[in-house]
Amino acid sequence: MKKSDLNRFLPYETDYDLLSLCRTWETRGLWIIGILSVVLPILDYFSEFAWLGVFYTALNLLYFIAIISYYILDVYTETFLYPATARKRRKGFIDNSLGSKYLEKHVEGYYTNDSLDIGPYKMLVNCGENCFFTLNIAKGMVSQVVIKNVVFTVLFLIMAYFGIKDNLVAIPSPATTRVSFVPKHSIAVRASASFCRNKSSKLSLI
C-alpha cells in the first residue's frame, strides 16, 4: 500500500534520498570487503607465482581503501546523516499536527488527515497513521530479512565446522589482516544489518 504522490511535498525528501544513496554504497563497500577477505588469502597462498604479485598488491591496496572508506561512510551516515534526517521528519510531523514552524516549509499531501483541525487530536491520528504504515513496511521486510540472516548464518557455521584453525578462508594470513579493523566474523552481521537499514530507508517515505 502506497500513499499517493499527488501534490505531495516533503521538506526532508532529498535528505532521505541522500541517506538511501549512502547506505547503498555502504552495502556495496561491505560486499567488496567480504569478497576480498576471501580472495586475498587464496592469492597469498599461491604467492610463489610471480605474475600474481602485482595483482595481489593492487587488490590489497583496494582492500585497505575499501575498509577506510566504509568506516568513514558508516560513521557519517549513521552518526550524523540519519539522526539529522530523522529529526527533520519528526519536526515535519509536529508542524503538520500542531501548526508549528520548526521547518521552513510544511509537509503537504503526506498525511491523509489534512481536513482535521490542528491540535493534539490530529497529532494522535497522524501518529496512528505512521504506526500503520510502519507495521506494513515491517511485515513486508520480514521474509527477506529472515532469508538473508539464515543464509549468512549457515555460511558462517559451515566455515566454523570445517575448522577455523587450519582453514585458509576462515583465517586470512597476517599479511592481509593487518588493516582489518572490521572483524571478519562481523561481515555477515553487518551485511544483513546494512540491507535492513537500506531497505527501510527506501520504504520510509512510502
Residue 122, CA distances (Å) to 55, 86, 93, 190 in order: 62, 20, 10, 39
CA distance 197 to 194: 5
Q: Which amino acid is at 8?
A: R
> What string of DSSP letters covers 134-155?
HHHHHHHHHHHHHHHHHHHHHH
Q: What is the mean pLDDT of residues 172-200?
A: 46
Q: What is the DSSP letter of 184?
A: G
Write down the mean pLDDT value for the chain.
77
pLDDT of residue 1: 38
Cell of 171: 583465517
Helical axes 187-203 vs 120-161, angle rounded to 10°: 150
pLDDT of residue 85: 92
pLDDT of residue 183: 42
Query: For 61-114, how does the pLDDT look when each residue is reduced to its tens digit (9 = 90+)?
Result: 999 999 999 999 999 999 999 999 999 999 999 988 888 888 888 888 888 888
Q: What is the mean pLDDT of residues 194-199?
A: 54
* Range in 13-22, 23-32, 126-135, 163-172 with the lowest mean pLDDT: 163-172
